[in-house]
Amino acid sequence: MGFLASKHVFVRDATGLVRAIGPLAAFLFGAQCISPPSSGFITYAWLPYLWPGSDILLILTLGMVFCLVHAITFSQIGSVYPRSGADYVFASRTLTPVGAFTSNWTLAIFSGLVAGSLIAWIPSTLMSSYFFELGALTNQPYLMTWGSMLTSGVWVFIIGSMAIAVTHILMLVSPTKSVAYLKYSFYLAMFSWLIILFSLAMSNPTTFATNWNAFMGAGNF
């Protein structure tokens, strides 16, 4: 049937709602919400730094179990209340209308703050650190200059505005195009994870110390 139910339409008799996307498209959307590239980088970079000697695989497994409990709970509530209107509809029935409004309003404010922070984080931290580290490891000063330049407010505004424009366009196009974008960006995200895992698998204490000193300066390891 593909991503969209364009030909084989599933309609709920009780509500008349039409299912526009299938399970795979829903999975892709959920996966993109956690940003696999940055989530993978943060997990493998921060955990060893903050808690040396910690078991990363065990932590990820426990985190997955707790996330599954949360995800299954939401999916079950959504199946019980097959109505449009996002989570406010079933929240107003499981809590109260006032409680659901308060919860959703708080979420809207919080999401706006998080979205704005992430938009600024893309050029000022993600892209900046990428070019700076790449320039340091490959001995290319112009890449390091790019990395420093991207932290300026002008470039944060320009690149952030471009990211907002792309997001806005994706919200206006048809679900078919949105799902296609999610699909290919998910493939790129998984490719970045392969790079992370390959880098970890090929490293050893000696080469890690050498690379660290090449980036941070001689004798810093």
Q: How far is CA 112 from the centre of its chain?
A: 15
How many domains would you assign to the chain?
Answer: 1
In a domain, 130, yes or no: yes
Structural tokens at position 98:
């006032």
Whether the Cβ atoms of residue 24 and residue 33 lie closer than 8 Å to each other: no
Residues 19-51 have pLDDT tens digits of: 667 778 778 877 777 776 666 666 766 676 667
Residue 43 CA neighbour count, 13 Å, CB half = 19
In a domain, 13, yes or no: no
Containing structural domain, residue 179: 23-50+66-216
**179-198: average pLDDT:** 78
Residues 104-115 have pLDDT tens digits of: 888 888 888 888
- Four-CA torsion 8, 10, 16, 20, nearest 10 degrees: -80
In a domain, 37, yes or no: yes
- What pLDDT is attached to residue 169? 87
**7-15: average pLDDT:** 50
In a domain, 99, yes or no: yes
List all residues 6 or more positions away from 182 whose beta carbon is below 8 Å from its beta carbon.
25, 28, 29, 32
In a domain, 11, yes or no: no
Rounded Cα gap, residues 202 and 221, in angstroms: 19
- Structure-model confidence comparison of residues 212 and 58, the more confident one: 58
In a domain, 16, yes or no: no
Rounded Cα gap, residues 159 and 21, in angstroms: 31
Q: What is the pTM of this model?
A: 0.55
**pLDDT for 3 beyond 60:** no
Percentage with pLDDT > 70 across the chain: 70
In a domain, 107, yes or no: yes
Residues 128-149 have pLDDT tens digits of: 877 877 777 677 888 888 888 8
- What pLDDT is attached to residue 158? 92
**pLDDT for 187 beyond 70:** yes
- For helices 175-202 and 23-33, give the axis angle rounded to 10 degrees: 60
Percentage with pLDDT > 90 across the chain: 1
In a domain, 18, yes or no: no
- What pLDDT is attached to residue 2? 43
**pLDDT for 10 beyond 50:** no
Average pLDDT, the chain: 75
